[in-house]
Amino acid sequence: MRGIVFTFVTISAALAQAPPKPPLGLVPVQWPKDNPYSAEKAELGRLLYFDKRLSGDNTVACASCHAPQMGFTDNAPVSTGIRSQKGGMSAPTVINRAYSLNQFWDGRAATLEEQAKGPIQNPIEMGATHEDCVGKLNKIAGYRQMFGRVFGKEEIDIDNVAKAIATFERTVLSGNSAFDKYSAGNKKAMTSAQVRGMDVYFNKAKCDQCHEGMNFTSNGYHNLGVGSDKATPDVGRFAVTKQDRDWGAFKTPTLRDVAHTGPYMHDGSLKTLEEVVDFYDKGGTPNRNLDEKIKKLNLTAAQKKDLVEFLKALNGEGWQHITEPQRFPE
């Protein structure tokens, strides 16, 4: 009997450490060798993600700008940080960020771990320093105990904070959409308008030149002309690479659950999917570095409407169960 109990406990423990199975349409997440998945680490990351005590004045959490009920964005043109300061970018969704090659609109962070550190010490976003943040966490006995169990030491450092948050974020997935079900053989999963819109997407508008593959993004950078007509346009990827070809180019976002993550573009300047389709249809905004793939589409009103319906067919499942913790470590 003892042997049977031991076997059951061992199997249960192993299952607890197995990463969540991705929903239909997605491939398994590739977990970093230096930050493998564990259920307790993901839960620690969830607590940190929602905990406003990571900010300088205890008013802003990661979830303040990337809220589950808003598709892991804030549904605002630009985000509001500490002391009601406004940022310059629209908050990208965390959904399926596990499949992203680089982070931020300009790709300046190579990993989710690196990205997680950025907002904490940004004076406009969370307004703390890494030293102040971990100093505050080290004074919370409940967190020290959790970090001890997860990382083997109770002393908290910013690298392990970032690893925990990144582990949680890699569990925020979206799949099993109407499109995924349709592609898997259920031809009733999408409406007739969505099927027509799919044809527009892939064949007429060729949206998949940039929004391609399983996650509907090439993970590349393109200049659409968004904001290029402003007096001081954002230089985008150029700020990172200093390459002229990257001037005004921004990362191509996933289209998974795009109906939930407006407003759109890096500056949140387009309020609706209809406005986005119109923007592409006219060929973007001309500028000295407009991407060669951006051309006038000449879509009919019916085609535009069907394309928007298809984009709604990319609304998926797998992230809606994530909620804010009722209690935080003390």
How far, in Å, CA of 266 to CA of 268, rounded? 6
The SS3 call for residue 251 is strand
pLDDT digits (tens, 9 = 90+) for 214-265: 999 999 999 999 999 999 999 999 999 999 999 999 999 999 999 999 999 9
Per 3-state DSSP, what percentage of the chain is helix, strand, and coil (rounded to 5)?
40, 5, 55
Between the CA of residue 252 and those of 35, 41, 85, 176, 192, what are the distances in Å?
A: 26, 29, 26, 22, 28
| pLDDT number for residue 170 | 98
> In this model, does residue 141 exceed pLDDT 50?
yes
Q: What is the pLDDT of residues 171-225, one digit of tens each?
A: 999 999 999 999 999 999 999 999 999 999 999 999 999 999 999 999 999 999 9
Per-residue CA distances from 107 to 101, 246, 256, 257, 262 (Å): 8, 11, 19, 21, 20
pLDDT score, position 16: 56
How far the first Cα of the chain sits from its last, in Å, is 39
| 319 within 8 A of 213, measured Cβ to Cβ | no
pLDDT of 18 strictly over 90 = no
State the pTM of this model.
0.93
Average pLDDT over residues 19-43: 96
What are the tens digits of pLDDT across the range 107-128? Answer: 999 999 999 999 999 999 999 9
* Beta carbons within 8 Å of 303's beta carbon, 6+ residues apart: 196, 197, 200, 204
Residue 10: pLDDT band (50, 70, 90) is very low
Confidence band, pLDDT 50/70/90 cuts, at residue 1: very low
Domains of the chain (ranges plus CATH)?
Answer: 2-169 (1.10.760.10), 178-312 (1.10.760.10)
3-state SS track over 91-137: CCCCCCHHHCCCECCCCCECCHHHHHHHHHHCCCCCCCCHHHHHHHH
Condensed to tens digits (0 to 9), the pLDDT of residues 170-179 reads 999 999 999 9
Average pLDDT for 126-131: 97
